[in-house]
Amino acid sequence: MARAMWDSSVGKKTVMAVSGLIMLLYLIVHMIGNLKIYFGAAEFNHYAHWLRTVGEPFMHYEWTLWLVRIVLVVAVVAHATAAYRLSRRDIKARPVKYAHKKARSSYATRTMRWGGIILGLFIVWHILDLTTGTVHSGGFQEGHPYQNVVDTFSTWYGNVIYIVAMLALGLHIRHGFWSAAQTLGAGSRTRDRVLKTVANVLALLLTAGFIAVPVGVMTGVVS
């Protein structure tokens, strides 16, 4: 049953929609949490510490965080695998290339593929930068994310990488949220209009909210 579902394209699209919505939920929380940087180092670092102690005393130190990490890894892998399989199927279904470049794949499909690849690379960079500190520009300090974020956005390439990724994220969510809604339920015309507006507003708020952090550092409001 699960196998037959996965083998169908509707099954893979459902996997993409559900895993995408899980990641979207995480991003909304992450974006709001990041804005706490405007309340100063003590509050931001305290918040980061709380992320590791949520659920205590029932949960041990970092257990909740690890649970969230596991859910996210499963979601990312499922999302990427389904996307890859769907695009392989597209290519296989069309052994003869189109003569005209324009007719090959729609603008949205190409944006989603490239956007997905950019975001995948970004997530790797982001974890190496602000979680493990491996590629961090300053002296990475565990437990002091405020200073680490300021260091990241004090380099030109830090700003370029994050801002480009956030723009890709906005486009990806705008189309992705809309596609997920199409997959998960048949729409009426009114409902479609509402969903399109929700997709646009969500994409805009997330992009602007995330970009507010590098902008804060660049303008000296966060230092």
Question: Should residue 144 be labelled a site residue for ligand HEM when binding is judged by CB under 6 A?
Answer: no
Position of tokens 């997959």? 183
DSSP 221: S
What is the C-alpha to C-alpha distance for residues 136 and 155, in angstroms, rounded to an integer? Answer: 10
What is the C-alpha to C-alpha distance for residues 192 and 147, in angstroms, rounded to an integer? Answer: 43
Question: Should residue 130 be labelled a site residue for ligand HEM when binding is judged by CB under 6 A?
Answer: yes
Nearest residue relative to ligand HEM (C-beta): 48
CA dist 105 → 74, 100, 137, 167, 174 (Å):
28, 11, 39, 22, 18
Choose, by CB under 6 A, the member of 16, 82, 83, 169 that binds ligand HEM.
169
Q: Provide, rounded to whole angstroms, the least separation between the CB of residue 44 and ligand HEM.
A: 8
Of the candidate spans 13-21, 98-106, 123-131, 176-184, the one that interacts with ligand HEM by CB under 6 A turns out to be 123-131
Question: Should residue 214 be labelled a site residue for ligand HEM when binding is judged by CB under 6 A?
Answer: yes
User: Which residues ranging from 51 to 110 are in contact with ligand HEM (CB under 6 A)?
Assistant: 51, 69, 72
Question: Should residue 123 be labelled a site residue for ligand HEM when binding is judged by CB under 6 A?
Answer: yes
Q: What share of the chain is helix, strand, coil (3-state, %, to 5)?
A: 80, 0, 20
Q: What is the 3-state secondary structure (H, E, C) of 92-115?
A: HCCCCCCCCHHHCCCHHHHHHHHH
For 177, residues 6+ apart whose C-beta sits below 8 A from its C-beta are 20, 24, 195, 198, 199, 202, 203
Binding mask 31-50 for ligand HEM (x = CB under 6 A): ---x-------------x--
Of the pair 86, 130, the CB lying nearest ligand HEM is at 130
- Positions that interact with ligand HEM (CB under 6 A): 27, 30, 34, 48, 51, 69, 72, 119, 123, 126-127, 130-131, 145, 149, 162, 169, 210, 213-214
